[in-house]
Every structure is written in C-alpha cells, then in structure tokens.
Amino acid sequence: MPEFWEKSFVEHQTMWGFEPTESAIIANSFFVEKGIKNILIPGIGYGRNAKLFIDSGITVTGIEISQTAIDLAKKHYGNAMKIHHGSVTDMPFDNQLFDGIFCYGLIYLLDIEERKKLIADCFAQLGSNGYMIFSVISTNSPNYGIGKEIGKDRFEIPQGAKLFFYDESSVKHEFEDHEMIEYSEIDEPIKNMRDKPPFKFWIIKCYRSK
C-alpha cells in the first residue's frame, strides 16, 4: 500500500471489503492447476486476496508498507501469512524463491523506473518453473483520464494517487522480456460497490523456465 494511502486507509480500514478480486480468483485457479505451493504477494494489504490462496493450501508471504494494514491482516487472519513490513521498491526482503508471485494493482501506482524494478525483482524471486501474475488497470477502464494528466496514460487523481493505465503495447513493452506467456483483459468489479461499473484490468502471466 503506497504511503499516501496510509491516512485514507486508517480512516476507511477495510474499505474494499473481504471478497477476493476477480484477478485473485483467476490467479488462484491457475496456481492450483499448476501445483504451486508457495507464493509472494507484493502489496498484500489487509489480506483479502491472500485468504483465497491460503484456503487452497498455498503458503503466502506478503509485503506491505502500511502497518495498519498488517495489523488488520493479523486481526482477521491471525498468523496465516507472513508479511514483511516495507515498500516493494526495497525488494527483496529475503533470499527465498517462490513457486508463484501474485501482484494485484500496485504496480500502476509506480513510475516507470519503479515499475521496471518491481517486475525484475519479482522475476528474480521466482524459482525454476515458477509463475508470476500481475493484474494492472487498462486504458479501457471507465476511470481512465480522470484527474490531471502527468504523462502518457498516467494521471494524478483527486485523492493524490498517480495511476498508470496499460494498453496492449505497454503490457508487451514492460513484461515481454520476462518470459511473458499470456495476457488478457478482464472485468474487475468493485464487489462491495455493485452499483459502480467494473474496472478493466489486464491479467499478465510470466513463466520462469530456469
């Protein structure tokens, strides 16, 4: 969770509810199919997506910058997951290699150099025959273009966050050097705000062969 969201998060706490995102459901099914045993989740938040993987028998390690979010994860899920307290820009936090990595959102809050580093750092923490799945917001999402334009496909929204929206070209550009095997666009509904139109996200899968 980015630092500028800490105050908002303290105020709203579990503002996104406890249902897993559609991206997490897709990733969980894929990891189960591939026999993935342990995963890393950068930007784990208060654990709403992590619970799904844990229930499938997958060991979860997270990274989270917000101590408030970590405390909430412990409150709701106990010691079901290990969470490193810190920023994803400071990865890696240990020398463990993982069967899988799942990163929901998050990366689109970073600038280009931070995004490159996060992708490379995640790929470096994959073991052989490991998979990483990123879920990123699309230029086809209904919230594209809201706020002040600060770069190509990047906008500063009224809440202060800076969002980078991906199109097919930028997906390929940023991920194809990391053994990208598949990408597709999905509807990502806001499950606790069902009157809102769904966001559009890209699901990107990469495979580390060795």
Could you tell me the residue ranges of all domains in the chain? 3-208
Average pLDDT, the chain: 91
3-state helix, strand, coil in the chain (%, to 5): 35, 30, 35
Across the range 10-31, mean pLDDT stands at 80
Whether omega for the bond prior to residue 92 falls within 30 degrees of 0, making it cis, is yes
Judge if pTM exceeds 0.85: yes
More confident residue, 13 or 182: 182
Q: Rounded distance, CA 21 to CA 105, Å?
A: 10
Per-residue DSSP letter, 128 = E
Per-residue DSSP letter, 166 = B
Q: Which pLDDT value is given to residue 32?
A: 98
Distances (CA, A) of 84 to 46, 47, 187, 205: 12, 13, 30, 24
Q: Which pLDDT value is given to residue 193?
A: 67
3-208: in CATH 3.30.450.70: no
pLDDT in tens, 128-161: 999 999 999 999 999 999 999 999 999 999 878 8
